Amino acid sequence: MSEISSDDRQAMRDSFARLLAEQAGDKALREAIATPHGFDPGLWQAMAEMGLLGLMVDPAYGGIGGNAQILEELMEEAGAVLLCSPFLSTAVLAASLISAASDEELRAELLPAICDGNQIFAVAATDEGGSWSNADIAVEARQQNGQWSLDGTASFVLHAEKADRLLVLARADGIVRVFLVDPGTEAVAIEQLETIDPTLRLSRIIFSMAQAQLLAGVDESAIETALDLARVALAGEQAGGVKRIFDLTVEYLKTRYQFGRQIGSYQSLKHIAADMLIDVESAASAARHAAKLVAAGSPEAKAFISLAAFACADAYRDVSAQAIQLHGGIAYTWEHPAHLYWRRARIGLWLFGSSDQHRETYLTCLETA
């Protein structure tokens, strides 16, 4: 990926923030939740026109050729508004996996379609238990007469119901490989899952001898690279979300009065807010440092990706829960946004791996360094 100057990164971030301010406020969020898509197609196309969907795609295929640093920065803006879109699954995971394929004809077909916003991808990589470990993949691939087919179940798949294509991680002769599948056939059954977060659509997909096309050249190393990029993006989103819910909470502490005083003037609440701020700043620092190392190709990147993954997830969980307490009863109402940040934080605790898994990876990296 190409180097983007700090000025250019800031300009892209400012433009994206303006777009989100115009089209992704609280009212727009609730309208998107209520649609069959689960996101705003108009906003999706606006992101395509800005070049954001091709952020991680090589310019040869119509993309920007960005790196992890600008990705993380833009995801902070997305997290602040709880952006409902298939950006993670399409513009990050799918773009990375397809870019690693050795089939030039396939890359030339699919990558420009991602950049233009014409193709939405879902990536099926987890089992019924929500594990993101290759060892737990529950879909099996078989080849007969030169044709691949898939059997098994993948769960917690992002934005599968509206996907034009599926990328499926499946086990073939003990090796995890990636396959392209048409979701519109009878051999593919997609069921929306009921979760606590209405802003993020998750599905279960059942494959019954579904015809599939192998993405040649995409090995387990390429899969892990794509997942690591998604972890950096998610950490950025969580850093943005935790900052926003903290800001909402501070504003509430300044404007809510009890017994003739701002509740934020009480020392005990000041201490709680100070602890929350430490988590907010720590999350942003961890996400940005990991992104910087990935962009630089540092050998230390893997350790700090794992650090950012659990630090941001845990900070989001803790700060959003504390925000609910400091807001009081109003935070439990549907009309107030606080509970939506808490819900997104809970889902993020296991997306692309649990905090415990990331801690284990981080410690392993430290021990082998």
User: Residues 142-155: what's their mean pLDDT?
Assistant: 94
User: Residues 19-26: what's their mean pLDDT?
Assistant: 93
Question: What CATH number corresponds to the domain at position 194?
Answer: 2.40.110.10
Indicate if the pLDDT at residue 258 is higher than 80.
no
d(CA 358, CA 362): 6
For 340, the domain range is 221-368
Task: Please check whether residue 299 lies inside any domain of the structure.
Answer: yes
Q: Residue 231 is encoded by which pair of tokens?
A: 């972890």
CB-CB contact of 213 with 52 (8 Å): no
The residue out of 219, 245, 280 marking a domain boundary is 219
User: Residues 107-124: what's their mean pLDDT?
Assistant: 96
Q: Residue 302 is encoded by which pair of tokens?
A: 């893997």
pLDDT one-digit tens code per residue, 275-329: 999 999 999 999 999 999 999 999 999 999 999 999 999 999 999 999 999 888 8
- Residue 317, sorted as left (phi over 0), alpha (psi -120 to 50) or beta, turns out to be alpha
CB-CB contact of 187 with 209 (8 Å): yes
Task: Please check whether residue 143 lies inside any domain of the structure.
Answer: yes
Task: Please check whether residue 1 lies inside any domain of the structure.
Answer: no
Query: 242 and 125, same structural domain?
Result: no
Query: 225 and 318, same structural domain?
Result: yes
Going by C-alpha positions, the residue among 61, 59, 60, 75 that lies closest to residue 9 is: 75
CB-CB contact of 276 with 316 (8 Å): no
Query: 182 and 235, same structural domain?
Result: no
**What pLDDT does residue 256 have?**
75
pLDDT one-digit tens code per residue, 43-88: 999 999 999 999 999 999 999 999 999 999 999 999 999 999 999 9
Of 94-98, 134-138, 248-252, which gets the smallest average pLDDT?
134-138
Question: What CATH number corresponds to the domain at position 278?
Answer: 1.20.140.10
Query: 291 and 177, same structural domain?
Result: no
Residue 196: other Cβ atoms inside 10 A: 11
d(CA 187, CA 165): 14
Query: 350 and 250, same structural domain?
Result: yes
Indicate if the pLDDT at residue 259 is higher than 70.
no
- Rounded percentage of the chain residues whose pLDDT exceeds 90: 79
d(CA 221, CA 292): 20
Q: How many domains does the chain have?
A: 3
Question: What CATH number corresponds to the domain at position 11?
Answer: 1.10.540.10
Query: 345 and 356, same structural domain?
Result: yes
Query: 155 and 193, same structural domain?
Result: yes
User: Residues 251-260: what's their mean pLDDT?
Assistant: 75
**What pLDDT does residue 328 have?**
84
d(CA 5, CA 154): 40
User: Residues 17-27: what's their mean pLDDT?
Assistant: 93
pLDDT one-digit tens code per residue, 265-275: 567 888 999 99
Confidence (pTM): 0.95
CB-CB contact of 338 with 327 (8 Å): yes
Task: Please check whether residue 138 lies inside any domain of the structure.
Answer: yes
Indicate if the pLDDT at residue 231 is higher than 90.
yes
Degrees to nearest 5, angle at CA 88 with 355 and 11: 110
Indicate if the pLDDT at residue 139 is higher than 90.
yes
d(CA 175, CA 219): 9
Task: Please check whether residue 44 lies inside any domain of the structure.
Answer: yes
d(CA 39, CA 60): 29
The residue out of 167, 184, 219 marking a domain boundary is 219
Query: 138 and 107, same structural domain?
Result: no
Query: 241 and 214, same structural domain?
Result: no
pLDDT one-digit tens code per residue, 201-223: 999 999 999 999 999 999 999 99
Task: Please check whether residue 247 lies inside any domain of the structure.
Answer: yes
Q: Residue 367 is encoded by which pair of tokens?
A: 């021990």
**What pLDDT does residue 253 have?**
82
Indicate if the pLDDT at residue 2 is higher than 70.
no
Degrees to nearest 5, angle at CA 221 with 215 and 223: 55
Indicate if the pLDDT at residue 125 is higher than 70.
yes
Task: Please check whether residue 214 lies inside any domain of the structure.
Answer: yes
Task: Please check whether residue 134 lies inside any domain of the structure.
Answer: yes
Strands 202-214 and 188-192 turn out to be antiparallel
Q: What is the 3-state secondary structure (H, E, C) of the chain?
A: CCCCCHHHHHHHHHHHHHHHHHHCCHHHHHHHHCCCCCCCHHHHHHHHHCCHHHCCCCHHHCCCCCCHHHHHHHHHHHHHCCCCCCHHHHHHHHHHHHHCCCCHHHHHHHHHHHHCCCCCEEEECCCCCCCCCHHHCCEEEEEECCEEEEEEEEEEEECCCCCCEEEEEEEECCEEEEEEECCCCCCEEEEECCCCCCCCCEEEEEEEEEEEEECCCCCHHHHHHHHHHHHHHHHHHHHHHHHHHHHHHHHHHHHCEECCEEHHHCHHHHHHHHHHHHHHHHHHHHHHHHHHHHHHCCCCHHHHHHHHHHHHHHHHHHHHHHHHHHHHHHHHCCCCCHHHHHHHHHHHCCCCCCHHHHHHHHHHHHHHC
Query: 141 and 105, same structural domain?
Result: no
Query: 155 and 235, same structural domain?
Result: no
pLDDT one-digit tens code per residue, 151-181: 999 999 999 999 999 999 999 988 999 999 9
When pLDDT is cut at 50, 70 and 90, the band that residue 337 belongs to is very high
CB-CB contact of 197 with 344 (8 Å): yes
CB-CB contact of 24 with 83 (8 Å): yes
pLDDT, the chain, mean: 92
- Residues in a beta bridge with 43: none
The residue out of 178, 199, 219 marking a domain boundary is 219
Query: 236 and 206, same structural domain?
Result: no
Q: Residue 29 is encoded by which pair of tokens?
A: 């969020």
